[in-house]
A = this chain, B = another copy of it.
Amino acid sequence: MKEIRILGVDTSLRSTGVGVVASAGSRQRAVTWGVIKNPAQRPHTECLAHLHRELGRLLQAEEPVAVAVEGVFFSKNVRTAVTLGQARGVVLAVCALARVPVYEYAPRSVKQAVVGNGNAHKEQVGRMVALLLGLSEPPAEDAADALALAIAHIHQQRLGLAAGKPL
């Protein structure tokens, strides 16, 4: 059975989690995961360019058939929303330029898919991601969230449910 690869992306300006999960039938495994970091002193434009380059490389190297991202976080702070929006815009554009479809999942539905509880804590998500993918320990938090997004997408598809909201 052919493996398909899904890339999860947990977007932020300074620390974007990424994780690729391969799925074949009922099996799934973690292919690669990590965090695209931008140091605090780096100007926003350079952060966005770095995110662009790193994500572009990852898409090219891993060839996922779909990308799963988090639904828009409803910050109360407009400046924070613009900053997150900027990083998110880069992620969406890079995926669209590479012709990889992007699906959006609410944080609650990701926790539901991975832990079975929409109100699960971060630590529970990390532990379940490690368990489901056979990792010896939970990955860094942002990477775990990215892997969880990929698992949630695979889970939805396996159940024959409509996938997340296509963007």
Contact = CB atoms under 8 A, between A and B. Distances in A.
Contacts of A95: 45
Interface stretch (A28-36, A69-77, A126-134, A155-163): A69-77
Interface of A: 43-46, 48-49, 51-53, 72, 74-76, 78-79, 81-90, 92-93, 95-97, 102, 166-167
A123 to B, nearest CB: 28
Main secondary structure of the interface of A (DSSP, over half): helix
Given A43-B166, A167-B43, A48 B78 contact: no
Contact of A45 (B43, B74, B167): B167
A49 B52 CA distance: 12
B75 A86 contact: no
A92 B96 contact: no
A45 B102 contact: yes
